Copies of this chain bind each other. A is one copy, B any other.
Amino acid sequence: MNTLQIIKVGGKLINDPTELDKLLKAFDRIAGPKILIHGGGRKATELSQKMGLEVKMIGGRRITDADTLEVAVMIYAGLVNKSIVAKLQAKGTNAIGLTGADGNIIQAIKRPVNDIDYGYVGDIKHVDGKRIESLLAAGFCPVFCAISHDQRGQLLNTNADTIASVVAQSLAETYDVSLKYCFEYDGVLYSIDDPSQTIDSITADLFQFMIADGSINAGMIPKLSNGMDALKGGVNEVAICGIDNLNSLDNATLIGL
């Protein structure tokens, strides 16, 4: 089987034009079929503030009301996604920028309201890997932002780490898939105080231990969880890494079951 590289890049790298350019250069150098999945960065918050929108949080989680969804679509699917596409095209990568509504590729349901109404947030129910394959086969490099849809005309704000995991799983039967969560460090750190010390690999046991121990950053937990799901779903390799590790996993953290 051919190898397919799927890179997910987070908000902090997106925010910094120099880091973003470095990332896109490294991504452009990856040979063979590849997919980029990106978060939103702080531009959505900035636009919300300019528009005078109130940021609604419940229990520490952001609520996506109708106005906030519009901002997310404008920033993620519009400004961030298409700027990345134009920059990749300039480097020679045949990028095509997509939400999950495009080609009906990422199908979700609006998160059911139990205790909390998260608003227009999507829980993914299916990814149409065949449609992604048809784009790859036609020579395109899909660039996904973190927006899905409910197949009834409603766009939905959706976690980019989860999108990366389910997109990777949807292609695991056709490709040897390598999934890399790329962020501002070389890998998962033993301690936030020393960015040079990265953990070589994290298995399910160690992951549970680190959660119980409280030694893992809260933001890293869903990333690792999504990574483990990807491995269970047939993805060959999952790593947490920095920009310098996109083409070799020297200091990266490998995820294991």
For the complex, what is the distance from the CA of A97 to the CA of B77, rounded to whole Å? 10
Please determine whether B101 and A89 come into contact, CB atoms closer than 8 angstroms: yes
A102 in complex: contacting residue of B90, B96, B147, CB < 8 Å: B96
A51 in complex: contacting residue of B51, B94, B98, B155, CB < 8 Å: B51
For the complex, what is the distance from the CA of A87 to the CA of B150, rounded to whole Å? 10
- Given known pairs A102-B95, A140-B103, the reply for A147 and B82 (CB within 8 Å) is yes
In the complex, what's the smallest C-beta–C-beta distance from A47 to chain B, in angstroms? 8
A147 surroundings in chain B (CB, below 8 A): 82
Question: Which of these binds chain B: A6-14, A29-37, A68-76, A183-191?
Answer: A68-76
Instruction: Judge whether A119 is part of the interface by a CB distance below 8 angstroms.
Output: no
Bitwise interface map of A from 76 to 90 toward B, beta carbon under 8 Å scored 1, else 0: 111101110111011
A47 surroundings in chain B (CB, below 8 A): 51, 74
Q: Which residue of B lies closest to A85 (CB)?
A: B101
Instruction: Judge whether A195 is part of the interface by a CB distance below 8 angstroms.
Output: no
Question: Which of these binds chain B: A131-139, A197-205, A247-255?
Answer: A131-139
Number of copies: 2
Interface SS of chain A: helix
For the complex, what is the distance from the CA of A103 to the CA of B82, rounded to whole Å? 11
Q: How many residues of A contact B (CB 8 A)?
A: 43
Q: Which residue of B lies closest to A24 (CB)?
A: B153
Instruction: Judge whether A104 is part of the interface by a CB distance below 8 angstroms.
Output: yes
Instruction: Judge whether A219 is part of the interface by a CB distance below 8 angstroms.
Output: no
- Given known pairs A74-B75, A82-B101, A140-B103, the reply for A151 and B50 (CB within 8 Å) is no
16 contacts between A and B (CB under 8 A): A47-B74, A73-B78, A74-B79, A83-B155, A85-B101, A86-B101, A86-B155, A89-B101, A89-B149, A89-B151, A89-B153, A94-B103, A95-B102, A96-B103, A97-B98, A134-B139
What 6 A-B pairs are tightest by C-beta distance, nearest first?
A78-B78, A74-B74, A90-B153, A74-B78, A86-B101, A134-B138
